[in-house]
Amino acid sequence: MNTKVLVAPSPHVHSGDSIQKNMYGVVFAMLPALVFSFVYFGMGAIIVTLTAVASCYLFEFLISKYLLKKVPTITDGSALITGILLAFNVPANLPIWIILIGALVAIGIGKMTFGGLGNNVFNPALVGRVFLLISFPVQMTSWPKPLGFDTAYFDAQTGATPLALIKEGLKKGEPLSQLMHDVPGNMDLLMGNMGGSMGEVAGIALLLGLAYMLFKKIITWHIPVAVLGTVAVFSGILHMSNPEAYAGPLFHILTGGLLLGAIFMATDYVTSPMSNKGMIIYGIGIGLLTVIIRVFGAYPEGVSFAILIMNAFVPLINVYVKPKRFGEKRK
């Protein structure tokens, strides 16, 4: 025989799927939301995104090369995702030096201390975000108004998010039906015409991203549906029990970072459970915690905290929630 043939065990073919394909697939799914944020917040959004992405790449490169002394694997696309997600999670007028700190915490503490991609317990972008929220509460909660592309970066007009408006109002004892006049209507909320973090406002763009990721089989429906379904049911029950004290399901779903969290952050491969059953339990946990923090907690928004808390339970979920085995008696 003239050729040397390879001998290896089956299977002899591969799907052609790769880490890069999935990571860049997620990035592609984030593009609509990115475009919306540029349109709404103008220069600010562009500066914040570029800074976040560039610094995430840089920190990952430096840390893996000089601290961990490994060959940096920044081409896998995960630093790009962390950068964009970090940008999505901050106001579009956040000073550059604060973004740098956020990126350092996200990549340094959130990802590399655990050993890099695949080993981290918490979603890196959220670690960065929550660190900034606690350290720089003022800068992190002055939301520029979505005025369009000519919004100035440094002296943008700022306003509160709908969630904060409602929370403040309710504290003062104003009835919800009254407060609802001050927040944008559902259509405006869906299109993103409200104050908030850069990437969270345009619900429609986020949903488009979800559809793409489902179509490309990058993620499955389990986590987003479990999170959103739980929020809808739980806030719906509260709303029905007292419509003047609790906002309805649609308001909860369309405001704040819920869609962004449910679609792009709770679904992070590394920090979410492996089995479908586990994913549903994890999603329900996030949904419940989000509503509890929003309604009863000190912060108007609770998605980030809810996801980070459930991230911590993922190792436990993976050990105790096994997939349904073939041939197992159905209960």
Q: Which residues of the shown chain bind other proteins in the complex (CB under 8 A)?
A: 1-3, 5-15, 17-19, 21-22, 76, 116-119, 220, 269-270, 272-276, 279, 322-329
CB crowding 209-227: b at 16 or more within 10 Å, else e:
bbebbeeeebbeebbbebb
- For residue 143, report the phi and psi dihedrals to the nearest 5 degrees: -90, 125
Smallest distance, Å, CB 7 to other proteins?
4
**3-state DSSP helix/strand/coil % of the chain, to nearest 5:** 60, 0, 35
Q: Considering the complex, what minimum distance in angstroms separates the CB of residue 323 from other proteins?
A: 5
Beta-bridged to residue 159, according to DSSP, are 143
Give the nearer residue to other proteins in terms of CB position, either 97 or 326: 326
Between residues 138 and 319, which has the closer beta carbon with respect to other proteins?
319
d(CA 79, CA 88): 14
160 versus 223: smaller Cβ distance to other proteins = 223
Residue 266 beta carbon to other proteins: minimum distance, rounded to whole angstroms: 13
243: preceding bond cis by omega (within 30 degrees): no
One-character DSSP codes across 230-264? HHHHHHHHHHHH-TTTS--HHHHHHSTTHHHIIII
Q: Pick between residue 186 and residue 275 the one whose CB is nearest to other proteins.
A: 275
| Residues ≥6 apart with Cβ < 8 Å to 157 | 144, 145, 147
Q: How far is the CB of 330 from other proteins (least distance, A)?
A: 9
**C-beta of 16 vs 173, nearer to other proteins:** 16
**Cβ 259 to other proteins, closest distance in Å?**
22
Per the CB < 8 A criterion, the answer to whether 48 and 99 are in contact is: yes
Which residue lies nearer to other proteins by CB, 22 or 255?
A: 22
CB 85 to other proteins: min, Å: 16
